[in-house]
A and B are shown apart, each in its own frame.
Chain A
Amino acid sequence: MRVLLVEDDPDIALDVARALEGAGFLVECAHDGETAWFAGDTEDFDVVVLDLGLPKLDGLSVLRKWRAAGRSFPVLILSARGAWTEKVDGIEAGADDYLGKPFELGELTARVRALVRRAGGHAGPVVTVGRLTLDTRRMSVAVDGAPQRVSPLEYRMLDYLAHQRGRVISAGELAEHLHGADGAADANAIEALVARLRRKVGADVIQTRRGFGYALSET
């Protein structure tokens, strides 16, 4: 697994690189925005850890340029802990997760692992079921080719249904998958979620098999 680490402070870069290597990643370092952009634009990485405050070219611009060029690797941005405008801008520029500085190295490696798992868990990056298309890298959804805004929770529900195609999924199973096994969610919460999703992607995309559960329409 290759990680591009973009961080201008050499002390922090060294520590983070050691931690990531300790977690089994192969780490490439870039210390300024231009180097980072070039590396990301020309090589393939499984995940990028991107500091926003960089010399030469700031992190947000680097990220925007990558996304504009169709580079879809998952990006974890490091931002000042308080700066929410920075986080919002980062996510809107195409980041997949953020971590406020200063951070625990353990937290960082866990987040990087989660990002890799999220992006790499599928055989192909795009799944199509009937009229529905899921881009599993970008966590985006399109119906008949038209992009739809869905929340991550809603995305995960569609994703699960898409990967269990042909099978009817009970509300209980969905709840367990979406919220964990501690039983926090009940059938009502799932029903509400399905209703919300149907308003966004169309009522006939998610079918109800009364008494059994839900399935995606194959047509």
Chain B
Amino acid sequence: MIQLIDVYKSFGQQKVLNGLNLEIEEGKTTVIIGRSGGGKSVLLKHIIGLLRPDRGQVLIDGVDITKLNDRDLNEIRKKFGMLFQEAALFDSMNVLDNVAFPLREHTVMAEKEIRQIVTDRLNAVGLKGVEYKMPSDLSGGMRKRVGLARAIALRPQIVLFDEPTTGLDPVMTEAINHLIMDTQKNFNLTCVVISHDLQSIFKIGHKIAMLYNGNIIECGTPEEITASTNPIMIQFLTGSIEGPIQVVED
């Protein structure tokens, strides 16, 4: 289980997380929604220890990762996989080497075994015969699939998705949504997805959490969120210009 307790984070004068509390259940998909530039990526980076909070705790299975040194943090990170917004594949390596990277770094498997796992993971994300292609030769959707294959290479317990459907066409968006749902189920993953793509979040999320002004203002099942009477929530879901969320901030 992932718990964020009273987390504060500022960059200069700008307060991004303001006493945030959030619990993420095991084996479920939690979607974090919120405005563009509202701190969703910052929140995600706190969960995996890429950023440390100014104050507060981030507990992964009961361990406060904000207090850990590099070596212990690396051990915790082996429980994680992450799919970056632009996939962040290593552009100097082909698909095979990209997916095999975590296996080669953290296991002592034979090369044959590694290749078998790479092929399995690529099949799991719907790719065949792309092992020797370079990332620059792949389309955006394929890159994300390879990124997901790399994220699940070591069979992590938790996978983080940073805006997985941003910049994709509707058909590819749907395909990636199904991929996230299938992968979550097949590998029994705890998934944390940040997104502001409303159609996607209700499909993939078991739980939805709304981040606003550095706090989680609503957290619940898709049904609970749709039924919410919070004016901020209603405005966000209807995409209205009128309401408490200001289009141009002061």
A-B interaction: no
Residues of chain A having any CB pair with chain B under 8 Å: none
Residues of chain B having any CB pair with chain A under 8 Å: none
